[in-house]
Structure 1
Amino acid sequence: MITSLRLEPVTPGNVDAALALRVHPYQEKNVAPVVKSLAEAYAYGETAWPRLIFDGDELVGFVMAFLDIPWDPERDPDDRRSGLWRLNIAADRQGKGYGRFAVDAVRQELARRGAARYYVTWEKGEHSPEEFYLRLGFRPTGEVSGGETVGVLEI
């Protein structure tokens, strides 16, 4: 079966499907629902990059990047970062490469925008996405943000 994976902006025509997207119940403690992400995207419109993940005509996930934000302005106002803010893959569509596709699509977008590093955070513990990100090449920076491990990938 040939798949046609792509990212699409959230539009009036697909927002209801986006809001209905659900991860596995055990993952709900590790990732915010799409509705929260879209509210954040609205509030942080200049730096949020929300996209829906489609396989053909089927919505399979949601991804949101953050673009060129100051990391810790009090410590270093010139330390600006871009990376993965949110990744939600539908519970019944996991394990099919959609997350890997989304992470790589964000990497490509960041590279297109001139970013040299790609950041992500994750919680440790049961059902953590840590192994997923490590397999994709992210490495812990030694930093912690909001109780989560910060990882980086050189672009």
Structure 2
Amino acid sequence: MTSRPRLEVLTPANLDAALAVRVRPDQEVAVAPVAKSLAEAYVHGETAWPRLIMDGDQAVGFLMVFLDIDWKGDGSGDVRSGLWRLNIAADHQGKGYGRFAVAAVTAELRRRGADRLHVTWHPGPHGPEPFYLGLGFHKTGEQVEDQTVGVLAL
């Protein structure tokens, strides 16, 4: 990191920078591109919280949080918030931006009164499992489609 990273709301002025964020080619199977995330944020406007990760004037990543969703979709009261997407640009990986992003999401969810941060990830050799487990996430034993569910106590 060259300066202090920050999260920015997406605007017309930074949209192209967000769309230019690309993960490594071997990671493309594990995380949707920013364009898909923005489309999902549009149709899930009440529960999606997309942000651009900036360092100085450079976009280094993108994240999107889901807020207070009915996890099972059945009205059972299992309401969760968590990290929906985390895309760190290929040439900015390994510089602490992912850790910054998780810490920023943790702070935002605490501010909103949450006590847990959920995340899902694709298992496999190029997946982010070691990253999330290294940050203290624990596997819940659940699967969502073909993804592992993890949780971090706040």
TM range (shorter): over 0.9
Mapped to 2, the partners of 1:132 and 1:126 lie a distance apart of 12
After superposition, give the CA deviation of every residue in 1:104-149 in whole Å (9 maximum; x if it has no partner).
Answer: 1001000000001100001111111000000000000011111111
**2:94 match:** 95
Query: Which residues in structure 2 correspond to 1:116-127 (within 5 Å)?
Result: 116-127=115-126
Structure 1 residues 21-75: Cα deviation after superposition (integer angstroms, max 9, x where no partner): 111000000000000000000000000000000111111000100000001133x
Gaps of at least 5 residues in structure 2 are: none
Which residue does the alignment assign to 1:134?
Answer: 133
Is the aligned partner of 1:22 residue 2:18? Answer: no
Task: Give 1:115's aligned residue.
Answer: 114
- Which one has the bigger strand percentage? 1
SS of the equivalent of 1:152 reads strand
Considering only aligned residues, what root-mean-square deviation do their CA atoms show, in Å? 1.1
TM-score normalised according to structure 2 size? 0.97
Tell me the percent identity.
Answer: 66
* TM-score (norm. length: structure 1): 0.96
Which letter does structure 1 place at the counterpart of 2:7?
L
Q: Structure 1: which 5+ runs fail to align?
A: none
Instruction: Report whether the alignment pairs 1:68 with 2:68.
Output: yes
Alpha-carbon distance between aligned partners in 2 of 1:73 and 1:58, rounded to the nearest angstrom? 38
After superposing on structure 2, the runs of 4+ consecutive aligned residues of structure 1 that deviate more than 4 Å are none
**In the alignment, which residue of structure 2 is the partner of 1:6?**
6
SS in 2 for 1:11: coil
Is the contact between residue 2 and residue 55 of structure 2 (CA under 8 Å) also seen in structure 1? no
Aligned length: 154
